[in-house]
Amino acid sequence: MNNTFYKQYKEHIALTYNCFDRLVFNGYILGTYKDSNIVQLLKNLNFSKLTNGVVRCLTDQLNAHIKQYAIHNNIPVIWWDSIGGTNGDKKQYVLDNYYKKQPIGIDKVLCILTTKEFVKSATVREFDRKEGTGKYNRLYITEKPIKQYYIYLHDKHLGFCCLKISSYLPFPSRFFCNGHYILQQQLEKEGISYKMHDNSFIQVSDEDRFKKIASLLPEGDWIVEHIEKWMGKLFKFHKGHRSTCSKLLSHSWFIGQTELCSNIIFKSPRYLDSLFSHLLAEQHVIGYPDNLHTIFDAKRVYKQTSTRLYRVKKQATIKHWHRSNSIKMYNKGGWLLRVETTINSPDLPGRKLRKAAWNLQAYGWYSHGCNNRYFEALSGTDPCIFEDVQHLDKPVIKENGKRIAAPDLRNQFQVELIRILLRPKYLTFGFKTKDLLVDFNKNPKTAKIRYELSKLIERGLVKKMDRSNYYIVTKKGWVWMWSCLFQKDYFVNPLLSISFKQELQQIANQRKKSTTRIRQLNTLLSQIYQDIRLVA
């Protein structure tokens, strides 16, 4: 990594590397996107009739093979809905229960999760002929709930992966893998020790060799070879005494999604937290169409871009969309700043790629260029702005001995004042105290506004305009105010509300328990009184 951003913060950086993150490959039986081709496929498989029973026959044979394979290899098969599973939690469930100890150097199926999803599949309908001489069947491609197999496995070269197989004709399949797990297997093979957080490397024993391995992006054909190895074991049809698969039902694999991430591991989490909050505050303008098209190396098309802020596992993320492709930035685990380009469509600005698997490295190099241009845009943030911000949280003593308190974001009036100062008209033309009066929800006293403003003026966040009685927010103040509001709106308030809600729930539960115990005591006391009366 040799961009301006890295050079700017080099002394605070411990490690950098680039590699693929999430990789998705889609598998199709060629030609089955047309209903007429599926009819011809069934004829080539020696099915003389066109009925739902014929289509169902293939499904039953596939289900029987997977069931037999799971029993023979002692693989747990779990109906996902029966354990209360929801979308997006399958991977974490498997990691927590079946992947605590990694089976290094071997191929192994960990478990199989099954569920039903709406996918495109073939169905046959019966119609009456117009002449009234009989009936005929016609095959359609429609969406309906079909049983899906999520086969989680460990490949000795690819690491933790998932193979998804649809159990109904035309049997669309999907393969998920991760570049970090591929890199992990290579480090294990070469005996290089490492430390990971989630799916990120934060420390390695041999940095030079690690960077060299990471720079060698895996080839798509090499990954497809391993996919076909697992398909040869799992995608078969049980014929009673053996399982086979016709060559007519073989899949071709194409790129569905690629994610390439550029990772910067900082020495100090506190430094990264401070930097990241200011990057979010100052660099949200990257999402403007002019800037975003520069990053993607595209022409200006305003309707094809969008930007949004959201949280992933309590981590702030800013994501910019260009058509169906995107680039995002987030602080992962407090140590690592990650910029990640996601490609869903090969129709890329400035380069037309293809979905064939052999084109995987071209996706990687294009994404690498997008990440570098994004870091170049981030390098516009002045490091001096946030390197010394601790004095903003401490009181200031003036020459006359007067003490000016620090801004307090717990004070709702102070927060409301900051929101007002960040309005475009005041950032452009400045303001007087009387101008701010009309913008408050309640009518505060002028002295109160001046007192809160003095906290900002003494710290250089607001200054008086030259040759004027107007005040204006400085660049330093603009960045600080935006970062404070961002943290308050997206972190402090949500987290406090969650914890407060949990406390209320605990209090309610304790109250229910207390009420139950009181009822039990009353029942016991009444029983004792009855026994005493009987004895008397």
**Per-residue pLDDT tens for 496-511?**
454 445 555 565 555 5
Sequence-distant (≥ 6) Cβ neighbours of residue 115 within 8 angstroms: 79, 80, 81, 85, 147, 148, 150
pLDDT above 70: residue 82: yes
Torsion of CA 36, 38, 40, 46, to 10 degrees: -150
**Per-residue pLDDT tens for 412-466?**
888 899 888 988 788 878 888 888 888 888 888 888 888 999 888 888 889 998 8
Inter-axis angle of helices 220-234 and 52-72, to 10 degrees? 90
The answer to which of 38-52, 154-168, 322-336 has the lowest mean pLDDT is 322-336
Which residue type sits at 300? R
Q: How many CA atoms lie within 13 A of 414 on its CB side?
A: 16
Indicate the average pLDDT of the chain: 84
10 Å CB burial of residue 439 (0-12, 13-18, 19+) is middle
Report all structural domains of the chain as residue ranges with CATH numbers, in order of start: 1-24+193-213+254-378 (no CATH), 30-171+235-250 (no CATH), 388-480 (1.10.10.10)
pLDDT above 70: residue 107: yes
pLDDT tier for residue 535 given thresholds of 50, 70 and 90: very low
**Per-residue pLDDT tens for 371-395?**
998 998 888 766 555 555 556 777 8
pLDDT at 520: 65
**What is the residue whose two structure tokens read 């990694």?**
102
Q: Does the N-terminal peptide bond of residue 170 adopt cis geometry, omega within 30 degrees of 0?
A: yes
Structure tokens at 366: 């294009």
Q: pTM of the predicted model, to two decimals? A: 0.73
Q: Are 253 and 163 in contact (CB under 8 A)?
A: no
pLDDT over 90 for what percent of the chain? 43
**What is the residue whose two structure tokens read 């022409």?**
299
Which residue type sits at 170? P
**Per-residue pLDDT tens for 460-480?**
889 998 888 899 988 888 878
**Mean pLDDT computed over 210-229:** 94
Largest Cα separation within the chain, whole Å, is 108
pLDDT at 500: 47
Torsion of CA 29, 32, 38, 41, to 10 degrees: -30
